[in-house]
Amino acid sequence: MKFLRLLPLLIIGLIITSCNNDDTPKENSQYLTISSTLNYVSVIDDSDNSQEIFTGADWGVLVNLDRSTLQLYVNSLQYLPNEHAVSFTLPELRMEYTSTGWKLNNPQSIQVETGVSPLNISDLHVDFVLRNDGSQNLVTIAFTINGRYHVNTLFTHNQFIGSTTSTDITNPDDAPFTTNQSRYLVIIDKKTMKAEVQIANPLFLNGMPTNLGIMRFKDIPMTFTDDGYRFAIANLTPEIGEDPYPAFALTDINGTVVAGKTMKLNFKCARFNRQVEVNGTAY
């Protein structure tokens, strides 16, 4: 199984290098790093169900393909608002291959040293999705600290593939248009609290051109949720390239993302009298 770079449109900063120096394993291994600039950390405190969203951590993932194991390196993880960030390394743990990539699920509690005080890490989940072109995308890093703080990584760039269905608003009994060809990239920015949706191969009805390029829905207000985020705006003019396309003016745009799992997106296009619904899976 090869680790290939992500598609240019969809790069989230996954840096891939072989482990061939004197300080790393000589076996068939890959080391992947995710910069803190490309993720946020959601922490839910079980004691009062409160949520904090922190600047992202620096993550390192060492995958040994010969032994089917994974080791997670965590640097500068903030999980309490008034405490210093912590860094730690988890031991090598067994991962499993799935029909869509590979994953690690380890419910056991593991004590790690942070240089300040030890922490207990449990319910560790790491998921990669294998795409049709052979590339892979990290979609989930989640775990619990000291049985109380539920940590979930929210990546700034999130790709989804699935079904796009549009119906005629005035004739809802007519057969809907459906396609699985469109791909969706959702980009979030905690500083502006805005989301952007990019659609590769946008198709919403029969006869729509197939060479439009990337369609963008920009500057959509967003809020974080317990398991991801949602975004919504009443009116929006999409862009293709850098050009606005008022002919495709949209209304009632709203979407919900469950981090590392699913996306639901709905909007209306008045000119073509269509209601569009997207159900996507992290990809």
Hey, where are the domains in the chain?
Answer: 8-155, 158-282
User: Please, which pLDDT band fits residue 10 given cuts at 50, 70 and 90?
Assistant: very low
Cα separation, 30 vs 4, whole angstroms: 11
Mean pLDDT of 12-22: 45
Q: Name the CA radius of gyration of the chain, rounded.
A: 21
User: Please, which pLDDT band fits residue 20 given cuts at 50, 70 and 90?
Assistant: low
Cα separation, 170 vs 97, whole angstroms: 47
pLDDT digits (tens, 9 = 90+) for 124-158: 999 988 887 777 788 999 999 999 999 999 999 99
Q: Is 30 exposed, middle or buried (0-12, 13-18, 19+ CB in 10 A)?
A: middle
Residue with tokens 């919504």: 232
pLDDT digits (tens, 9 = 90+) for 174-198: 999 999 999 999 999 999 999 999 9
Q: What is the dihedral of CA 12, 158, 77, 30, to 10 degrees?
A: -50
Specify the CATH class of 158-282 in words: mainly beta
Please tell me the pTM assigned to this model: 0.88
DSSP labels for 152-217? EEEESEEEEEEEEEEEESS-TTSPPEEES--EEEEEEETTTTEEEEEEES---STT--S---EEEE
The end-to-end CA distance of the chain, in Å, is 17
